[in-house]
Structure 1
Amino acid sequence: MNTILRIFVLSLLFTTIYNCTSDDGNDYFKYDHAFNTVGFMTNYIRMEEGSEITVEIKFNEPAETDGVITILGSDLKNLEIIGATVIDENALQLNFNKNTTILSFNINRADDNTITENIDPILTIKNITRPIYINSYHSLQLDISDDELSGLPKSYVTYNGNNLQHKVSYFYNISGRLAKVNYFYGNTNLHEHYKYDDQGKLVTILTNDDTEDISKTTFLWENGLIKNSTTEFMNPDSQSLNYKYTYNQNNQIIEKISSGNEPIEKNFYSYYSGDNIKSIDSYYGEELYFSTTFYTYTEKPNQFPEWDIIPTHRVQSQLPISLKTGYTGGWGPQEDVNYIYAYDDLGNLRSRRSNNGITYYYYY
């Protein structure tokens, strides 16, 4: 796919003189007579990984002199720039001659079948040889997606009113398995990094925030199932967490019980016929303190793993419609939750409304 991005030089007529300043302190001007300005026609475009786009810079009339255009960019090190001089990983330049009417350069990202980081480079025109000037449309954001991952869950974002509650983003390895999950809650970012063995079995999850490592969880497999997990914290004052998993005849987890710490934490799970979880009951010692019951499900498939007991071990093949969840025995409140879903023309889930806000869903 070859997408043509056009940067147009606009001729504007003003009766008043304006003197404006860009965010880096460089001036761009608007005069009371016709003159050349440079700016992006759009501020956002999506490109597939492995595709190439051509950026064209057009002049509304032939350039009056030789000159240079400087464009700054974030994440340029992840891109192949063809037809422009790359100054460093954050800047590139294009030279033009007198009477030039059009400039162009190409942007390409090699196709490696996977995206492991957010790739959202922003290109910004920061300087151009005068008497050609930069107008206010001087930035362009690229959203680079991977065509091999087309259709897989990318992220979901929940708002309560205008307030962002949380965002969860998914990244995949070359085999299409989860490689990383980013969680944003309030002002906190957490990142889970997934490691697999040669057979594709999940063996460790490394958790960190933006500044330091937090924990490492190791999974022990037996007869094709995860039977034990151990979470060790980097803080030496924190005790490790150990869990044992028990399954029913359908290889569904029915018990998750801690060991080595007091009080013992016990979690019990029941299911409807099929792959949809029915209830979750959590105990501290012998006291039930939290319970969730799912009453009804849609017939639509559930692509987003919001209720996994173990990461990559799905417990809902369809979308829940109604449920009751919360604390019991005086530990705290319970609430009834009802979901209303909206889908696009292809049948993909796009939004979910409830009394707790609205969630938007995005795909590769």
Structure 2
Amino acid sequence: MKALLIFRYLLLIAVYSACSTDDEASSNDLKQYTVIRFGESQNISENGGQQEVILPFDSKTISVGEIQLKLESNNELNLRTVPEILNGILSIQVQAGASHASFFITPEDDEIVTNMQKIVFSIYALSGNLIKANNNQLVILLSDDELMGMPRAYHTRSNEGSETKEFFYDNAKQLITVETEVISGFGWKESSQYFYSEDGNLIKVISVFDEDPESNLETLYYWKNGNIHQTVNKYDGISFSYTNYDYDQNGNLIASSAYDKDELGNESLEAKSSYEYYSDGRLKTESTTFYFDEELNYKINYDNYLPVLNPFTQILPGVNAQKGLPGLIEYKFGEDNYSRIYTYEFGDDGKLTKRKATGETTTYSYH
């Protein structure tokens, strides 16, 4: 037994020594190469003229080389590059001793709303002592100056998962598409298309979900006296619920009643909501009663507002009931109560960039 233990000990030493030698050799081999690290996406503006895109290296090159990037974007791009893209390939010459490579992009500054465009390159070929890192894609985000300052997206990350919403607009700067992705125990992707009447009122939203792309959820909007007074929900063309809305003399949403419809057309009250406001028009209280087997009451109180408008939150499309940024939100569901304190961060231009609470962070981006 003692001899066997000594043998195992010597075997472990031999294996460890071999691994250490291999690691050292591998490390020495890597020192002969320069790694291209794309990192996060880079941003350029449509009206920015010629702009340089940097490809950083982890160390200086020891020989001349070449980087060939393949354009992966399928959408038509109105831009020029230096060097020029030929047959979908962008070739960049790299000198010895270089700490990075670069090329130039000049977007066409048109007067058309194109929304944020994603330009994607992948490494097609490398020469010299250049090698690629794990991230093989260079992502460039081209901002649309016609939408400058308008909300583009927000991303919420919490202990339960994450949610991302991205907004797209037409030439009249009306919202036409919202892309949603939820990552959690029950994650999904949703794409919603917005449709308008000739006078600019929202009349329909059609949503498609990734788990059932052949089906769709359709919401119809009916207007009266300049406000949405009813919405009707249809699944694959069959109506299954509707909601009625009431407003005060200032146009603030003050109440809603939601009804379900069964296969026979029988209706039942599902929920009632009421909304109260502070004197300055900011939302104070949102109260909802659900009518299931027993009544359930849900209430949200908003307080400690910042003197800044909320650019994102809407209860109804086009009806921005939550106009401000509350610093305190109190929740009451049945006998359960809890609250959250929110803090906010703003960019140099004064726009909201981040909201934080315990276990939750939301970041906001703009065109």
TM-score, length-normalised on structure 1?
Answer: 0.73
Partners of 1:266 and 1:284 within 8 A in 2:
yes
Partner secondary structure for residue 139 of structure 2: strand
Asked if the contact 2:164/2:182 (under 8 Å) is kept, the reply is yes
Shift of 1:46: 0.7
CA distance in 1, matches of 2:103, 2:179: 36
Paired position in structure 2 for 1:13: none
**Which structure features the higher share of helix residues?**
2
Instruction: Name the structure 2 match of 1:4.
Output: none
Matches within 5 A, 1:120-159: 120-128=118-126, 132-136=128-132, 139-159=137-157
5+ unaligned residues in a row in structure 1: which ranges?
Answer: 1-15, 21-28, 97-101
> Is 1:340 equivalent to 2:343 in the alignment?
yes
- List alignment gaps of at least 5 residues for structure 2: 1-23, 94-100, 262-266
Residues 173-212 of structure 1 mapped to structure 2, 5 A cutoff: 173-186=170-183, 187-210=187-210, 211-212=213-214
Aligned to 1:99: none
Q: 1:139–1:244: structure 2 CA closer, same or farther, 3 Å change rule?
A: closer
| Cα shift readout 1:64-109 (whole Å, capped 9, x = no counterpart) | 9xxx86422321533245563543xxx425498xxxxx99674535
Q: Secondary structure at 2:245's aligned position in 1?
A: strand
- The residue type paired with residue 141 of structure 1 is V
8 Å contact from structure 2 (residues 232, 242) kept in 1: yes
Q: What residue identity is the alignment partner of 2:113? A: T
Deviation per CA, 1:21-42: give whole Å up to 9, x if none: xxxxxxxx9685xx9x795787
Aligned equivalent of 2:162:
165
Question: Partners of 2:344 and 2:295 in 1: how far apart?
Answer: 32
Over 3 Å counting, the alpha-carbon distance change for 1:76 and 1:299 in structure 2 is same
User: Against the structure 1 CA distance between its residues 165 and 43, is the aligned structure 2 distance closer, same or farther, given a 3 Å change threshold?
Assistant: closer
Shift of 1:319: 0.6
Give the SS at the match of 1:198.
coil
1:148 aligned counterpart, secondary structure: helix
Aligned to 1:48: 45
Call closer, same or farther: CA 1:95–1:242 in 2, change over 3 Å. Answer: closer
8 Å CA contact 1:170–1:182 kept in 2: the answer is yes
CA distance in 2, matches of 1:305, 1:221: 22
Q: Residue type matched to 2:152 in 1?
A: K
User: Does the 8 A contact of 1:291 with 1:327 survive in 2?
Assistant: yes
Give the aligned partner of residue 224 of structure 1. 226
How many Å apart are 1:19 and its aligned residue? 10
**Shift in CA distance, 86/269, structure 1 to aligned 2, threshold 3 Å:** same
Which has the higher Rg, Structure 1 or Structure 2? Answer: 2
Q: 331, 342, 347: which one pairs with 1:325?
A: 331
Q: Once superposed, what is the RMSD of the aligned Cα atoms?
A: 3.8
Q: 1:363 aligns with which of 349, 361, 366?
A: 366
**For 1:321 and 1:62, how far apart are their aligned partners in 2?**
57
Shift of 1:354: 1.7
